[in-house]
Amino acid sequence: MTGKSAIAARLGERGLLLPSLIGEALQANDRIKLRFSLLQEALAQARNPHERPATFAAERQSAGLGEAQFDAIVSGAKAIDAGAILAPGAGALIAGIKPDLAAMLAPVEAADPTAAASFSARLERLGASLAGPDGDAVSADKISAMTSGRREAGDSLHLLVMDLHKAINAIAAASAPETIDGASAHGATPQDRVRIAAFMRGVNRTRALAFGHPGLGTTAVRTGASLTIQNDIGTTDAHVLVVHVEGQSVAVTYTDVHRIRAKFFIGLFAGQDVEFSPLTEHESRGVGEEDVFYLLTGRFSGAEPALLGFLEALGARLVFLIDWNKARKALQIFTGKEAAAELLAFAARHEFGHRAFLELGGADLVFDSVRKVAEGRIPYGARLDDALGRMATRDFLREVLRRSSLGLSAGRSARLIRDEIQADLSQRFQSAEATLLELVVRHLGLSRMLAGWVADMTSGGAADWRRLAARSALLEKKADALTVSAREIAGRLSGADRLLRLVNAVENAMDSLDECAFLISLRPEKEAAGAAEAELSTLAGIGLESFSHLIRASEAAMLAPAGQRADATDALRSIDAVLDAEHRADAALREAMRACFGAASLDARGLTLRLEVARMIEASTDHLAHAALALRDHVLKELSA
């Protein structure tokens, strides 16, 4: 293909016809692609007659293949033998391919005869394969040869169509009589200009989010009663958007090699009153997987303001299709396929996209943050969402996409953006640990409530001692649920053994108090009052005090990772108070035992109950001391990080 100036020099008088030739060529391109699709679907139907046949009524009407004989080409297809089918109308369908190719060749002949000669020779050679007295019978090999998109397999009609299409687009861009906001326009009416401008307003609003990736070139041509707008999106041959605007209706034809991205495209227009056809695969089983592409059509109708709004929205969304599959594969490493697709939908809805994420390294951007921030916190082989949690990982990756786009758009350095992402991930891991500590605090709050009841009972100040065991069981049930949640978080974090020791020790302290409550509920109705009461009350008071100190320590530890060393100091002081309380509880236990054995009024049952109650209270302070030591290890580790 020659340059733009050479093309313009060659136009001459025939150049006056070029806009209409380009329009007719683009229509012929649509027809040929549909002819190929119908043949492929007919072959698939013949090989799988029990499957529901695909329908192409809307596509045929839009492309200009409205003849009734084509209604049954797919539904009526039958296998003749293992290598051939009989499809009603197949002969006429194939016969129309060569005239359509001639229509595609016409603008190339007008603009660049040298290039046209090469295309004409290919058409002559490949067109010979279309002839034959087969009628509506056609072999699978013939369909495969026509529709093959693999250049290594040799030339084909499909490849000729693709190459002609590229040449037509180049000619259209080089010879356009006017440019409307970046779109090459041919024969546009005043109303067309307004509609093209609306489409380009959307394209240009988000174009910068491609961050230098080629694509989004737009051509607009007035042909007869309709305006055709075509956008090349990215660089993939089969990734094309064609828009036909006629009256107050917009018909969208979209092709893609990735089925999941085509479904994503549909999702971009949720709530826009667009009616999409079912997504159809245009490569049958047995014809060749590498030739597969997917086609869908959508239709929108509305008054002029709504129509212009739809065209703008359509143009604005195209940039989010560029490198979409590459971004999905990068994100799904950390969160799975469905979640990755939802992340890309989120980025498109908020118009920051995913190209900046890829420009900054894609998956390596996240891996780098994980290595620097979370090394040792994530178990070997675990996915990020398994370690951090599904929702937290979703929020983090959303932030990665947002920070990448806003950062590059604002001209920030890649180093600064990476640092911001690493800081965000660090906060999220600290947040997971803080959540675990919050659960511990809530657990300790329930335990302290029970410790208060026990202290009240041992001092003789409560008459409800019979119901103590039942009330304790209710508290323990709530505490058990908190323990399960805390262990689940700890299990996701590598190196969380200190926190897990804390959780287990707090749970053991609650179990000791629950056992103590059960023993108190067994107290006889009539027994000597005041026996060892003061000593037990002192011991129970120390236990209650110990729970209070550990609550303060845990609350301070939650704030320590935020860089507040005063909170770390408070945590360590409260931890020391827990350890001191444990030593005082040891001494108080001995005093309680001495008082019990010295009370002549106690029988064996009363003596045993008091001794066991004292032991359980002291055991709870032992467990709290173990919890305090685990918390101290965690705080010191955070301070040294």
Mean pLDDT, residues 165-170 taken together: 89
Model confidence at 461, pLDDT cuts 50, 70, 90, reads low
Mean pLDDT, residues 580-584 taken together: 94
Strand 218-223 and strand 183-186: pairing? parallel
Higher per-residue confidence, 361 vs 259: 361
Q: What is the pLDDT of residue 350?
A: 94
Q: What is the pLDDT of residue 564?
A: 58
Q: Encode pLDDT of 95-109 as tens digits.
A: 899 999 999 999 898
Q: Using CA of residue 426, residue 431, residue 433, residue 437, what is the dihedral sign?
A: positive
pLDDT of residue 383 exceeding 90, the answer is no
> Angle 102-103-107 (CA atoms, 0-180°, nearest 5)?
105
Give the highest mean pLDDT range of 174-178, 255-259, 560-564.
255-259
Q: What is the pLDDT of residue 190?
A: 92
Q: What is the pLDDT of residue 527?
A: 60
Q: Encode pLDDT of 312-356 as tens digits.
A: 999 999 999 999 999 999 999 998 889 999 999 999 999 999 999
Residue 349 belongs to what H/E stretch?
helix 337-349
Higher per-residue confidence, 169 vs 66: 169
Q: What is the pLDDT of residue 292?
A: 65
Q: What is the pLDDT of residue 114?
A: 87
Among 97, 96, 119, smallest CA distance to 106 is for 119
Instruction: Give every CB contact of residue 34 below 8 A, 6+ residues apart in sequence.
Output: 56, 59, 60, 63, 65
Q: Please state, in angstroms and as integers, the Cα–Cα distance from residue 519 to each residue in 170, 466, 514, 532, 614, following that order.
A: 90, 10, 9, 16, 10
Residue 81's Cβ-count burial label (10 Å; 0-12, 13-18, 19+) is exposed
Among 513, 453, 455, smallest CA distance to 479 is for 513
Model confidence at 133, pLDDT cuts 50, 70, 90, reads low
Q: How far is CA 600 from the centre of its chain?
A: 74
Determine the Cα–Cα distance for residues 221 and 243; give it in Å rounded to an integer.
Answer: 11
CB 85 within 8 A of CB 138: yes
> What crossing angle do the helices spanning 18-47 and 157-175 adopt, rounded to 10°?
150
Higher per-residue confidence, 4 vs 109: 109
Residue % of the chain over a pLDDT of 90: 35
Q: By three-state DSSP, how is residue 223 classified?
A: strand
Determine the Cα–Cα distance for residues 116 and 101; give it in Å rounded to an integer.
Answer: 12
Q: What is the pLDDT of residue 375?
A: 65
Q: How far is CA 209 from the centre of its chain?
A: 19
Model confidence at 165, pLDDT cuts 50, 70, 90, reads very high
Q: By three-state DSSP, how is residue 69 classified?
A: helix
The full set of domain ranges for the chain reads: 4-171, 176-321, 324-412, 427-640
Mean pLDDT, residues 604-633 taken together: 91
**Among 199-208, 312-321, 431-440, 622-631, where is mean pLDDT lowest?**
431-440
- Angular region, 410: left φ>0, alpha ψ -120 to 50, beta rest: alpha
Integer-rounded Cα radius of gyration of the chain: 38
CB 436 within 8 A of CB 392: no
Q: Please state, in angstroms and as integers, the Cα–Cα distance from residue 441 to each residue in 427, 437, 504, 547, 595, following that order.
A: 20, 6, 13, 10, 35
CB 197 within 8 A of CB 181: yes
Determine the Cα–Cα distance for residues 479 and 438; give it in Å rounded to an integer.
Answer: 13
Q: What is the pLDDT of residue 6?
A: 35
Superfamily of domain 427-640: Phosphate transport system protein phou homolog 2; domain 2 (1.20.58.220)
Model confidence at 5, pLDDT cuts 50, 70, 90, reads very low
Q: Which tokens belong to 187?
A: 């024969």
pLDDT of residue 12 exceeding 60, the answer is no
Whats the size of the chain, residue-wise? 641
Mean pLDDT, residues 286-312 taken together: 78
Q: By three-state DSSP, how is residue 275 classified?
A: strand
Q: By three-state DSSP, how is residue 394 classified?
A: helix
Q: What is the pLDDT of residue 498?
A: 84
CB 384 within 8 A of CB 393: yes
With b for 16 or more beta-carbon neighbours within 10 A and e for fewer, the 547-563 pattern comes to bbbbbbbbbbbbbbbee
Q: Encode pLDDT of 384-416 as tens digits.
A: 877 777 888 899 999 999 999 999 999 999 999
CB 593 within 8 A of CB 475: no
Give the highest mean pLDDT range of 44-48, 273-277, 470-474, 619-623.
619-623
| Distance between first and last Cα of the chain | 62
- For residue 389, which amino acid is it? G
pLDDT of residue 13 exceeding 50, the answer is no
Q: How far is CA 529 from the centre of its chain?
A: 68
Mean pLDDT, residues 548-576 taken together: 80
pLDDT of residue 368 exceeding 60, the answer is yes
Q: What is the pLDDT of residue 230?
A: 84
Determine the Cα–Cα distance for residues 548 and 41; give it in Å rounded to an integer.
Answer: 74
Q: What is the pLDDT of residue 11?
A: 31
pLDDT of residue 370 exceeding 80, the answer is yes
Stated pTM of the model: 0.58
Residue 380's Cβ-count burial label (10 Å; 0-12, 13-18, 19+) is exposed
pLDDT of residue 16 exceeding 50, the answer is no
CB 38 within 8 A of CB 75: no
Residue % of the chain over a pLDDT of 70: 87
CB 581 within 8 A of CB 621: yes
DSSP character at residue 254: E
pLDDT of residue 134 exceeding 70, the answer is no
Beta bridge partners of 253: 242, 297
Q: Which tokens belong to 521?
A: 């509920």
In the block, residue with structure tokens 């240009």: 204
Higher per-residue confidence, 17 vs 295: 295
CB 436 within 8 A of CB 499: yes
Q: By three-state DSSP, how is residue 242 classified?
A: strand
> Quick one: three-class SS letters along 431-494?
HHHHHHHHHHHHHHHHHHHHHHHHHHHHCCCCCCHHHHHHHHHHHHHHHHHHHHHHHHHHHHCC
Q: Which tokens belong to 303?
A: 């008054």
Higher per-residue confidence, 547 vs 376: 547
Mean of pLDDT over the chain: 84
pLDDT of residue 14 exceeding 60, the answer is no
Q: Please state, in angstroms and as integers, the Cα–Cα distance from residue 149 to each residue in 238, 247, 304, following that order.
A: 10, 36, 40
Q: Encode pLDDT of 71-121 as tens digits.
A: 788 888 898 988 888 989 888 888 899 999 999 999 898 778 888 899 999
Determine the Cα–Cα distance for residues 498 and 221; give it in Å rounded to an integer.
Answer: 69
3-state helix, strand, coil in the chain (%, to 5): 70, 10, 25
Higher per-residue confidence, 295 vs 334: 334
DSSP character at residue 445: H
> Angle 99-105-110 (CA atoms, 0-180°, nearest 5)?
130
Mean pLDDT, residues 202-219 taken together: 90
